[in-house]
């Protein structure tokens, strides 16, 4: 599928972060409000049957990625971050507010990167290390590749790479290629970590869950993929891609009560 097919969900997730108090108003969009409203009938059905909603899943994913990144920064292992396909994520804004010396490169395709720049300008003065760059996650080399963005950073400071919500929209070969590029980029730094999620399997496999995946695929004009139902297969694939160590972290085991509260009580 085309790289630019995944950008519509940036608006949906952006609205989820905003309505749950995790984002800045400048990072919310009208498109996000409309997409959220369109999905609400299906999510209401899941709430009534006490099944996890997409909003709860997204919040669990986002907060645990934040927590893992925070651990790496506090430990000194990471002093620079590249977030691939950042969309309207508030993470760069929140982390550079908390860590002004952090270098944080938010990356996306040209149209979304420009929209993110305008949103950050609306927020106001940003720390010097907070930047936006164009990046095509499927490109091996060239000016908009991961290698080009990483080349602008200091190899003597640890690098953290984040992909959130991207891998579900990539077929296996494209995802494995991205993993190889990320492992290769991290190699030139003194230390490195890659934090990511592996899909929407937390919503379950019943008829309603499958229906939502179909609807999500329609948003992005392509199939929504679920990679590696077995944890060991995922870890083996990461090793094959060039990562020395890998572990699985389950969001619902870390903050189940907080996620349920956020996902059901956020403002509209």
* pLDDT one-digit tens code per residue, 3-62: 445 566 788 889 999 999 999 999 999 888 888 888 777 677 666 777 667 788 888 889
- Does 65 score more than 50 pLDDT? yes
Percent of the chain residues past pLDDT 90, beyond the cut: 57
If you count them, how many residues does the chain have? 268
CA distance linking residue 78 with residue 80, whole number of Å: 6
Q: What residues does each domain of the chain span?
A: 3-265
Look at residue 149 in the predicted model and tell me its pLDDT. Answer: 97
- 3-state secondary structure at position 144: coil
* Integer CA distances (angstroms), 16 to 52, 60, 63, 122, 178, in order: 15, 12, 12, 20, 26
pLDDT (tens digit per residue) in 142-197: 999 999 999 999 999 999 999 998 888 888 999 999 999 999 999 999 999 999 98
d(CA 92, CA 105): 8
Q: What is the mean pLDDT of residues 97-119?
A: 95
Phi-psi region of 95 (alpha: psi -120 to 50; beta: other; left: phi over 0): alpha
pLDDT at 242: 96
pLDDT of residue 202: 46
Pair 9, 220: CB distance under 8 Å: yes
- CATH architecture of the region 3-265: 3-Layer(aba) Sandwich (3.40)
Looking up tokens 């309505």 gives 19
Find where tokens 């190899």 sit: 155
Residue environment code for 119-143, b if the CB has 16+ CB neighbours within 10 A, otherwise e: bbeeeeebeebbbbbbbbbbbeeee
Residue 80, φ and ψ in degrees, nearest 5: -140, 145
- Contact present, 164 and 87 (Cβ < 8 Å): no
**Number of CB atoms found within 10 A of residue 34's CB:** 13
């Amino acid at each position: 599928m085309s790289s630019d097919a995944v950008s519509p969900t940036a608006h949906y997730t952006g609205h989820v972060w905003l309505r749950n108090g995790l984002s800045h108003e400048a990072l919310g969009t009208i498109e996000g409000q409309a997409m959220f409203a369109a999905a609400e009938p299906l999510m209401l059905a899941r709430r009534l049957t006490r099944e996890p909603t997409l909003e709860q899943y997204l919040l669990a994913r986002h907060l645990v990625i934040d927590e893992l990144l925070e651990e790496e920064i506090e430990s000194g292992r990471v002093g620079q971050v590249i977030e691939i396909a950042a969309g309207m994520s508030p993470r760069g804004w929140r982390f550079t507010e908390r860590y002004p010396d952090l270098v944080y490169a938010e990356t996306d395709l040209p149209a979304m990167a420009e929209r993110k720049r305008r949103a950050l300008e609306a927020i106001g003065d940003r720390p010097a290390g907070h930047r936006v760059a164009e990046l095509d996650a499927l490109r091996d080399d060239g000016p908009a590749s991961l290698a080009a963005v990483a080349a602008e950073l200091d190899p003597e400071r640890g690098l953290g790479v984040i992909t959130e919500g991207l891998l579900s929209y990539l077929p296996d070969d494209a995802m494995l290629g991205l993993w190889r590029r990320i492992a290769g980029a991290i190699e030139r730094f003194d230390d490195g970590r890659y934090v990511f999620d592996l899909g929407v399997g937390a919503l379950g496999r019943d008829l309603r869950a499958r229906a939502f995946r179909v609807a999500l695929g329609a948003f992005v004009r392509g199939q929504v993929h679920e990679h590696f139902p077995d944890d060991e297969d995922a870890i083996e694939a990461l090793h094959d891609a060039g990562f020395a160590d890998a572990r699985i972290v389950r969001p619902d085991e870390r903050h189940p009560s907080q996620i349920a509260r956020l996902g059901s009580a956020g403002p509209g």
